[in-house]
């Protein structure tokens, strides 16, 4: 039965404060009326009553939107050119220009042996493969000419691309749609389709490849209908009980609002889903209504199974309403500036007191001052690369305007400074601060102007020289810099990743230490995010005194960028 359960938790605090903890709990998943079908796919709550699991894949194309590449023999064409991208065979489109072409014998050297590799991206139980010629499509005519068909082919399968087993061989094909069933279900991840015969005159043209099998689909989503907490609440943790076999996954995300139907006033889906039961999801609050979405995933032949899910909340708030804004709202990119972060706080006498305010910082920041209604307050603070924690000497118990003066260097296109109110009464459930939008951008964001001429900005090494002799003074040197926007258009800024490497060389050009080599987004590698060199080589030995070269390289679409600085080791 699907119910709303109420839990009363008693907590003994220094002031013996009691607070109510509630939860919206779903204990079974058989009621179709509780499902938002428009946002639900590939999940099953009927085969095993009371449990939510993935659907089986007999009628689902397991290859759709996965990954494929083609290696051409004909005319020595390079693999996966823009006009011959094998991923078009898995996009669900049966029409031009979504196809690949293998040229006829008259068009050049023989194309026999050209092959297509499909990565299903998980181990699947496969027993059927269909190939469609351009012009043939589901529900369309099957009386079209078949002159572009695959004349002869072989299908292989395996867990890798090196040891593949022959599954089907068709020495002569006369159909524009091939449909091959295997003698037994094969547990494979990769398929290889080899074109064995090429026509003398007509090219071979394939518009779509479909793969079917048994077992569970790799991914599915279950979305609840909008749920009502009966009043605006402070949403808390999400918990669940489930069977989670190895290499299967469960994640949950929420969105909240104050209207019974989702509209433009609702928050977006939480960007980071909860992957562990008991995770706090910081959605906008207080809000009366909530909708949750469960993602089930598998990379094996098993499925996760959910028995119970609970979305916890407090009815006693930390603040009735809040509104955060940062000014100035615009700033020159990679230019240090001072900002005022203001939160208008509306409280009632029954609200919990506000003891701590946490401001998330997209770039390492300094806290210069804290004000309340324009007057300085006594506070303590802890500064981290991604947040500022402000503990108030006198908790906030009435409506007020809180201000924090911050100095930082914005480096993203949109720099979001979200924030949270924390009460000692409920320390495990902070209340996320609200914000309005200015020109479509959340008002707690700094929008940068101009475009940096370089990707690697303000590269510094300090101390320089340094003395790695173990005396506790200047034993390490810090490497700091900003990695600017590495994607265009600006809507993609911060979302693209490129390989970033930091290496130390001696003056002969010999690399002696690799400090970093990973994909990176735009970032501020300063303060706690900086890199350090301890004066040792890759073998752990301290280098000799002398001058060395520290080099930073970032790959990008325009060929990349590199920069270097000298660093001196002395004793």
Q: What is the 3 state secondary structure string of 374-391?
A: CEECCEEEEEECCEEEEE
Domain 321-449 and domain 456-569, same fold? Reply is: yes
Nearest CA-CA partner of 227 in 33, 415, 378 = 33
pLDDT at residue 138, rounded to an integer: 82
pTM flag (> 0.85): no
The alpha helices in 410-529, defined as continuous H runs, are none
Could you tell me which residues come within 8 angstroms of residue 32 by beta carbon, excluding any fewer than 6 positions away? none
Give the tokens for residue 532.
Answer: 């350090």
Q: What is the dihedral of CA 408, 411, 413, 417, to 10 degrees?
A: -30
What pLDDT was estimated at residue 154?
96
> Closest by alpha carbon to 354, among 320, 315, 385?
320
Tokens, residue 549: 């070269």
Of 261, 270, 274, the C-alpha closest to 309 is 274
Q: Which of 41, 1, 36, 2 is nearest to 296 (CA)?
A: 41
CATH number of the domain located at residue range(s) 321-449 in this protein: 2.60.40.740
3-state percent helix, strand, coil for the chain, nearest multiple of 5: 5, 50, 45
Distance CA 381, CA 369 (A): 10
Q: Which residues, 6 or more positions from 411, have their beta carbon under 8 angstroms from its beta carbon?
A: 333, 334, 363, 448, 457, 482, 483, 484, 485, 522, 523, 524
Topology of domain 6-55+219-314, CATH: Jelly Rolls (2.60.120)
Among 177, 210, 208, 202, smallest CA distance to 111 is for: 202
Domain boundaries, the chain: 6-55+219-314, 67-214, 321-449, 456-569
* Secondary-structure class of domain 67-214 per CATH: mainly beta
What would the two tokens of residue 112 be? Answer: 């026999």
pLDDT at 20: 42
- Per-residue pLDDT of the chain (571 residues), as tens digits, is 333 333 333 233 333 333 347 999 998 787 888 999 999 999 999 889 889 999 987 788 999 999 998 887 755 555 545 446 888 899 988 887 888 888 777 765 556 788 999 999 888 889 999 999 888 878 776 667 788 889 999 999 999 998 899 999 999 998 889 999 998 888 999 999 999 988 888 888 899 999 998 888 889 999 999 999 999 999 999 999 999 999 999 999 999 999 999 998 898 887 778 999 999 888 889 999 999 999 999 988 899 999 999 999 999 999 999 999 999 999 988 888 999 999 999 999 999 999 999 999 988 899 999 999 999 999 999 998 889 999 999 999 999 999 999 999 888 878 999 999 999 999 989 999 999 988 888 999 999 887 666 778 888 998 999 999 888 888 999 999 888 764 443 333 344 667 889 999 998 888 999 999 888 777 888 877 889 999 999 999 999 999 999 999 887 655 678 888 999 999 8
Looking at residue 200, what is its pLDDT?
Answer: 80
Q: Which residues pair with 232 in a beta bridge?
A: none
CA–CA distance, 141 with 466 (Å, rounded to integer): 77
The pLDDT, as a whole number, for residue 409 is 87
| Whole-angstrom distance, CA of residue 11 vs CA of residue 425 | 9
CA distances from residue 493 to 9, 222, 330, 385, 426 in whole angstroms, order as listed: 45, 31, 16, 20, 37
Q: Which residues pair with 362 in a beta bridge?
A: none
Contact (Cβ atoms closer than 8 angstroms) between residue 329 and residue 34: no
The three-state secondary structure class of 90 is helix
Identify the residue whose tokens are 């605006």: 232
Written as six digits, the tokens of 181 are 């069933």
Cβ count within 10 A of residue 228: 12
Cα–chain center distance at 93: 27
How many angstroms separate the Cα of 71 from the Cα of each of 16, 118, 192, 222, 388? 71, 12, 11, 38, 53
Task: Write down the pLDDT at residue 379.
Answer: 97
| Residue 305, C-beta contacts closer than 8 angstroms, at least 6 positions apart | 48, 51, 52, 53, 242, 243
Q: Which pLDDT does position 198 carry in this prediction?
A: 84
Residues with Cβ < 8 Å from 552, sequence gap 6 or more? 456, 459, 479, 481, 500, 501, 502, 562, 563, 564
Q: Among candidates 167, 273, 149, 278, which has minimal Cα distance to 203?
A: 149
- pLDDT score for 2: 37
Q: Which letter does DSSP use for residue 52 in this model?
A: B
Class of domain 456-569: mainly beta
What's the pLDDT score for residue 348?
97
Q: What's the CA gap between 437 and 417, in Å, rounded?
A: 13
What pLDDT is recorded for position 508?
A: 86
Q: What angle do CA 458, 459, 465 make, to 5 degrees?
A: 130
pLDDT of residue 556: 66
State the pLDDT at residue 11.
31
């Amino acid at each position: 039965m699907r119910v709303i359960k109420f839990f009363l938790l008693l907590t003994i605090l220094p002031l013996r404060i009691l607070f109510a903890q509630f939860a919206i709990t779903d204990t079974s998943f058989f009621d179709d009326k509780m499902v938002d079908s428009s946002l639900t796919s590939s999940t099953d709550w009927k085969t095993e009553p009371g449990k939510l699991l993935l659907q089986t894949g007999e009628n689902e194309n397991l290859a759709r939107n996965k990954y494929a590449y083609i290696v051409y023999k004909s005319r020595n064409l390079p693999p996966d050119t823009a006009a011959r991208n094998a991923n078009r065979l898995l996009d669900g489109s049966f029409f031009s220009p979504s196809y690949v072409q293998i040229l006829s014998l008259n068009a050049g050297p023989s194309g026999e042996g050209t092959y297509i590799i499909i990565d299903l991206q998980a181990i699947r139980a496969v027993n059927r493969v269909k190939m469609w010629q351009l012009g043939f499509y589901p529900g369309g005519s099957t009386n079209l000419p078949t002159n572009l068909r695959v004349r002869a082919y072989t299908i292989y399968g395996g867990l890798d691309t090196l040891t593949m087993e022959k599954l089907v061989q068709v020495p002569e094909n006369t159909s524009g749609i091939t449909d091959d069933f295997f003698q037994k279900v094969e547990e494979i991840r990769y398929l290889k389709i080899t074109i064995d015969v090429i026509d003398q005159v007509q090219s071979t043209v394939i518009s779509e490849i479909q793969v079917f099998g048994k077992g569970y689909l790799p991914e599915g989503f279950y979305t609840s209908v909008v749920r009502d907490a009966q009043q605006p609440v402070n949403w808390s943790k999400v918990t669940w009980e489930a069977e989670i076999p190895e290499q299967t996954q469960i994640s949950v995300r929420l969105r909240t609002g104050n209207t019974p139907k989702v509209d433009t006033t609702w928050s977006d889906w939480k960007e980071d889903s909860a992957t562990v039961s008991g995770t706090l999801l910081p959605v906008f609050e207080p809000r009366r209504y909530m909708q949750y979405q469960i993602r089930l995933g598998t990379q094996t032949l098993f499925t996760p199974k959910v028995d119970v899910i609970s979305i916890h909340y407090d009815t006693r708030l930390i603040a009735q309403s809040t509104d955060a804004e940062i000014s100035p709202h615009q700033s020159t990119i990679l230019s240090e500036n001072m900002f005022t972060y203001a939160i208008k706080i509306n409280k009632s006498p029954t609200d919990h007191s506000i003891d701590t305010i946490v401001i998330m910082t997209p770039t390492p920041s300094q806290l210069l001052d804290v004000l309340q209604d324009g007057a300085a307050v006594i506070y303590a603070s802890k500064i981290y690369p991604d947040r500022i924690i402000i503990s108030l000497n006198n908790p906030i118990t009435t409506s007020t305007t809180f201000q924090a003066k911050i100095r930082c260097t914005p480096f993203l296109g949109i720099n979001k400074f979200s924030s949270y109110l924390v009460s000692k009464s409920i320390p495990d459930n902070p209340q996320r601060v609200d914000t309005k939008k200015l020109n479509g951008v959340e008002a707690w964001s700094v929008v940068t102007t101009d475009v940096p001429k370089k990707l690697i900005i303000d590269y510094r090494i300090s101390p320089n020289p340094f003395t790695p002799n173990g005396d506790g003074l200047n034993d390490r040197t810090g490497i700091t810099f900003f990695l600017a926007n590495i994607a265009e258009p600006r809507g993609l800024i911060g979302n693209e990743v490129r390989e970033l490497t930091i290496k130390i060389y001696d003056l002969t050009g010999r690399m002696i230490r690799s400090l970093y080599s990973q994909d990176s987004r735009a970032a501020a590698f300063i303060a706690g995010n900086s890199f350090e060199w301890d004066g040792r080589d890759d073998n752990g030995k301290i280098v000799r005194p002398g001058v060395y070269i520290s080099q930073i390289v970032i790959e990008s679409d325009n060929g990349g960028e590199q920069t270097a600085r000298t660093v001196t080791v002395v004793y």
